[in-house]
Amino acid sequence: MNELRDYENLNPDDFKLVQKEDKIYDKKFETKPIGYFKDALIRFRKNKTNMVATSILFFLIACSILIPAFSTKNVTAIEEQLSFLPPRIPLIEKLGIYNGTKEYVGQIIDLDTIDPVTGIGYPEGFPAEAIVEGTLENYTEACTLKDERCAGGETVLRLDPNALYVQVESNESFVFVPENSPILKVNVQSVDQGAKLNIYVTPVFGDELVKVATITEAGEYSINIYDVVPEAFVNTKVVFELKAANNEVTVALTSVSLSDSSQAEPLVHVEGYELSKYEISGGAGLYVRQNGEFLLTRFVIDEYAVAFAEKLERFFPSSEYDQILADFADVCIQEPDPDNSEGWLFGEGCPITKVEKKIAGIKVAGIDYSQYRLYLDYAVYNGYDEVPFFLFGTSDAGRDVFTLIWVALRTSLLIGFTVAFINIAIGVVFGSISGYYGGLVDLLMQRFAEVLGRIPWLVTLSIFIALLGPGITTLIFILIVNGWIGIAATTRTQFYRYKGREYVLASRTLGAKDSRLIFRHILPNGIGTIITASVLTIPYVIFTESTISYLGYGIGHGQTFRVFGVEFSGVSIGVLLSDGRTELLNNPHLVLFPAIIISVLMITFNMFGNALRDAFNPALRGSE
Amino acid sequence: MTKYIIVRTVWVFIILITILSLNFTILKLAPAFPPTTEEARDIYYAKQVSDGYMTIELIESSADISDIRSGEVEICDGCYSVDRGGDIIRMYKPVPLANQYFSWVKNIVTRWDWGLSTRVQTNVPVFDLLKARIPVTLRLNLVALIFYIPAGFGLGIVAALWKDSWLDNLISFIVMVFISVPSFVVMTLLVMYLGFRWEILPTQWLASDQAFSLVWKGYIIPVLGLSFGAIAGLTRFTRAELTEVLTSEFLLLARTKGLKRSQAVVRHAMRNSMVPLVPTIIFSFVGLLSGSVIVEQIYGIPGTGRLFIQALTIGSLDYNMLLASTAFYTTIGLFAVLLVDLSYGIVDPRIRMGARK
């Protein structure tokens, strides 16, 4: 209420009229006028979501220019040793993700490395020291393979339907010595109802099989052969025969062994894989394994430790050897190797740690061509002081995916902008002529554009591939053939809209030529709509380019092209995705990161284009 | 109206013939890739002669034969000579391109003969190969159509009815993502996660001779990959149409007369906003069809798109196959255009296409 009361005693001196004496005929505005573009800019700024999208878009574009220029990582050479490294990102690696490790499951165990105390064996083909501590586990998996590593289980003899019998014969000869009272032990896990398992012995040089036992039930059987067949068989094979009245019966054998009184251990003991090696010698049936156990390992390995470990080079060319010695002259000081008289050692910091021997070569024109057998320190050899971070991992050729993505994005953007520029140029000119002159010209040009626009991309693709083969030229042609038609249509509509306006008529009456009417009066008025239509063609072009490159008809590895002195790689995002396609299971990072980048690029580009359209043309907001 | 239909139909045929002729002529100018084995090549060239693309000439004079064998006489461009020793050389010479073109048209029009495949499946009529693949592609696309129409409609209607709510914003964001992300990226990510990582769906197309309980699972990933873009387009369009109708005067009138909002929306707004959607759906089917080329390639679906890609193997192009499969896609595309043009008049009687003022 106090404030209100103050109004009652206002000081009249505080107030004075703006214009008391001077008359205003023509005076400049004190504030700046807001033009068409400025108005659009204000509207554009108001939309916060789109501002964020636009910032991300420009950040991506900036990255694609800066990162390839400053990155020291390899994106062109093939580094076999570094292929398929998983992503490793500083800071985040402490959380346990993207720390350069990869989990392997189901790797075959190296039977020689099984520790007698813990019983844990190391996998075959992986350096034991790179395995992350505490992650190594052994486990077994059911198997039915006839393989040495598949242990235990039973072997099943199955009689075919319609067959009368099936026989398998042992591989080894059982040696019976009558004095030691030999006993043949057969462990039968199961016998089907109605099936009969006959066991025969056969003299090696004999002809007739001699039946020693008939088994109809599961159990462990001990057969004293001399009790059954008094005639002595010194050296025989054992034959198992499965017979049944009703068809398709099985019998499962666990083990066969022979023991005698001469020693406690059995003389012959056959089970698991060995037992499954017996071959069918007669009749018809199958002889397969069941319930075997395959010993496998599961572990997490530090791929970076593997890649940058000391590496044995069996045939290292002397030219490269000399080059390294020259490059690292200050640290590569040769020392004798106390353990190896043929070789020598190098000190700390030298890419070559140890030379085992020099392999004699040949001398051509006074130059010695020889080879060395040596060990390389791979990190130093590749020019890294310490183990590097490959943020997004490496590709099959050992290239850094992080840098590669930006290199590829740069190419994609370049193609996008170039093609969009060409399309806009053609479209604006075509649309202007068609829209300005109208009539028969318009009709014919529209019909031409319609025919061209109706050509499916499959047709253009096949035509250009057949004529020119894949490559950057083909790609640009395919994108141009009917890419300009949309812009031409927009331009034509704009011309129809403005060409009948009074100011155009006035200018024409004053004698303005067609070119002046087009470029001074009509085009500038319609430019906002044309710009927005054009901006939206850029993401469309990138989209199509990546699709064509993905199919393998665009650009690819090994191609380069120069624009204004800057060399661009032939790798685009589509190419990267195509590369990763075969590695979805083992190396998902090859697909994941390019997919994220292209998705973000497309989304932000479309949002930017839409925001621009809304800003220039508020009436269209929300549609399309 | 009749005149309009006739004009449009004739025009569509003109475009179709132009595109096919252009395709034929240009592909004939490109280097040829005849079959690789000698036996297949003999059949191929014999067929070329009987189809009227080439003529055969027997070279019997010993002077000419020795000239050719010694390499003194250049074999003409595009010619093919069969020299099996003895005193005869068979020389196949191409006829002029214009004649080849008329033979090609004649073969198709009179005998429906699209030629033999040269590389995909040597010496099998290409139309037979294509015919065997069409059902797979059409089935996949129809399933995608059945899936995406309700999805797109639903999202669009929800977005329009609850305009400017958080739901609408969420839907517009989803639409933006669906439109922006290329279908091959979607497919690859779906295969990677649903197929390889979580192992709930097959990573490849399943042959249709397997049990239905398995086969339908193979449809999920390609249908999703195909329809994301289409869903986004339809959602956007439905939303725009319905928003416009919802603000129109006749709806206000309906409400003023005492209809409930739901009644007004369902009986008046929906019906009227559906009209322009019919052409959109027809067009989107064409979009799906040509988009399915890449989906078929990624998921290993034995459809027409895969056949096209096979025929377009670099260094081993199969022109007859390319011509037939592109003709298939072009025809479907153009007849969809025709259908759209005609449907404008049928679904919405207010539009009198081609009528004089």
Strands (E) in A14-145, as ranges, are 101-108, 137-143
Q: Determine whether the interchain pair A458/B203 forms a contact, defined as Cβ–Cβ distance below 8 Å.
A: no
Whole-angstrom Cα distance, residue B178 to residue B186?
A: 9
Whole-angstrom Cα distance, residue A148 to residue A169?
A: 19
Q: What is the mean pLDDT of residues A610-618?
A: 78
Distance in Å, alpha carbon of B62 to nearest chain A alpha carbon? 38
Give the percent of chain A with pLDDT over 90: 9
CB B257 within 8 A of CB B297: no
B205-241 pLDDT, tens per residue?
877 777 777 778 888 889 998 888 889 988 988 888 8
pLDDT of residue B349: 59
Cα–Cα separations (whole angstroms), residue B199 to A140, A398, A577, A585, B196: 21, 29, 21, 11, 5
pLDDT of residue A1: 47
More confident residue, A443 or A357: A443
Phi-psi region of B167 (alpha: psi -120 to 50; beta: other; left: phi over 0): alpha
Q: Which of A253, A225, A229 is nearest to A240 (CA)?
A: A253
Whole-angstrom Cα distance, residue A23 to residue A212?
A: 137
Q: What is the mean pLDDT of residues A275-289?
A: 83
Any B CB within 8 A of A606 CB? yes
The model's confidence at residue A528, banded by pLDDT at 50, 70 and 90, is: confident
Strands (E) in chain B, as ranges, are 54-59, 80-82, 89-94
Chain A CB contacts of B233 below 8 Å: none
Tokens representing A49? Answer: 């979501």
One-character DSSP codes across A117-128: TT---PBTTS-G
Which residues are paired to A150 by β-bridges? A294
Provide the pairing of β-strand A219-223 with A285-290.
unpaired
Any A CB within 8 A of B334 CB? yes
Q: Which residues of chain B have pLDDT under 50?
A: 353-357
More confident residue, B4 or A203: B4
List the helix and strand counts (H, then E) for chain A.
Answer: 19, 23
CB B45 within 8 A of CB B92: yes
For residue A462, give the nearest of B182, B189, B312 by CB distance. Answer: B312
For residue B314, give the nearest of A470, A581, A605 by CB distance. Answer: A470
- The 3-class secondary structure across A435-494, one letter per residue, is HHHCHHHHHHHHHHHHHHHCCCHHHHHHHHHHHHCCCHHHHHHHHHHCCCHHHHHHHHHH
CB B96 within 8 A of CB B291: no
Tokens representing A44? Answer: 């554009």
A374-402 pLDDT, tens per residue?
877 777 777 776 777 888 888 888 888 89
The model's confidence at residue A537, banded by pLDDT at 50, 70 and 90, is: confident
The model's confidence at residue A230, banded by pLDDT at 50, 70 and 90, is: low
pLDDT of residue A116: 76
For residue B294, give the nearest of A456, A551, A602 by CB distance. Answer: A551
Distance in Å, alpha carbon of A278 to nearest chain B alpha carbon? 36
Give the percent of chain A with pLDDT over 70: 95
pLDDT reading at A467 higher than 50? yes
CB B149 within 8 A of CB B234: yes
Whole-angstrom Cα distance, residue A552 to residue A470?
A: 8
- Torsion angle in degrees (nearest 10) through CA of A335, A340, A342, A348: -30
Distance in Å, alpha carbon of B208 to nearest chain A alpha carbon? 24
pLDDT of residue B354: 47
A249-272 pLDDT, tens per residue?
888 888 888 887 777 778 788 887
CB B12 within 8 A of CB B56: no
Put simply, the chain B residues between 235 and 264 with a CB less than 8 A from any chain A CB are 236, 239-240, 243
Q: What is the mean pLDDT of residues A221-246?
A: 75
Chain B CB contacts of A592 below 8 Å: 189, 192
Whole-angstrom Cα distance, residue B54 to residue B81?
A: 12
Q: Suggest the residue from A47, A57, A443, A463 to mutate for an interface test with chain B (most B CBs closer than 10 A).
A: A463
Whole-angstrom Cα distance, residue A566 to residue A555?
A: 17
Q: Which of A403, A416, A357 is nearest to A77 (CA)?
A: A403
Distance in Å, alpha carbon of B177 to nearest chain A alpha carbon? 6
Cα–Cα separations (whole angstroms), residue A328 to A152, A303, A321, A323: 57, 27, 11, 9
> Does this complex have an ipTM over 0.90?
no
The model's confidence at residue A47, banded by pLDDT at 50, 70 and 90, is: confident
Q: What are phi and psi of B63, to 5 degrees?
A: -65, -45
Provide the pairing of β-strand A310-317 with A367-377.
antiparallel
pLDDT of residue A558: 72
Which residues are paired to A334 by β-bridges? A346
pTM value? Answer: 0.78
The model's confidence at residue A309, banded by pLDDT at 50, 70 and 90, is: confident
Chain B CB contacts of A595 below 8 Å: 185, 188-189
Average pLDDT, rounded, for chain A: 81
A573-593 pLDDT, tens per residue?
888 888 888 887 788 888 889
**In chain B, which residue's Cα lies nearest the Cα of A459?**
B326
pLDDT of residue A371: 81
The model's confidence at residue A203, banded by pLDDT at 50, 70 and 90, is: low
DSSP state, A394?
Answer: B
Whole-angstrom Cα distance, residue A38 to residue A41?
A: 5
- Torsion angle in degrees (nearest 10) through CA of A205, A209, A210, A214: 150
Q: How many CB atoms lie within 10 A of CB B234?
A: 25
Q: Suggest the residue from B17, B312, B318 to mutate for an interface test with chain A (most A CBs closer than 10 A).
A: B312
Whole-angstrom Cα distance, residue A546 to residue A601?
A: 12
The model's confidence at residue A5, banded by pLDDT at 50, 70 and 90, is: low
CB A185 within 8 A of CB A215: no
DSSP state, A410?
Answer: H
Whole-angstrom Cα distance, residue A573 to residue A542?
A: 9
The model's confidence at residue A340, banded by pLDDT at 50, 70 and 90, is: confident
CB A40 within 8 A of CB A355: no
Whole-angstrom Cα distance, residue A350 to residue A329?
A: 9
Put simply, the chain B residues between 301 and 330 with a CB less than 8 A from any chain A CB are 308-309, 312, 314, 317, 319, 322, 325-326, 329-330
Q: Determine whether the interchain pair A462/B27 forms a contact, defined as Cβ–Cβ distance below 8 Å.
A: yes
Tokens representing B341? Answer: 């043009």
More confident residue, A51 or A127: A51
Any A CB within 8 A of B333 CB? yes
pLDDT of residue A431: 92
Put simply, the chain B residues between 203 and 222 with a CB less than 8 A from any chain A CB are 203
Q: Cα A381–A387–A392 angle (5° rounding)?
A: 110
For residue A581, give the nearest of B18, B188, B239 by CB distance. Answer: B188
Whole-angstrom Cα distance, residue A537 to residue B117?
A: 38
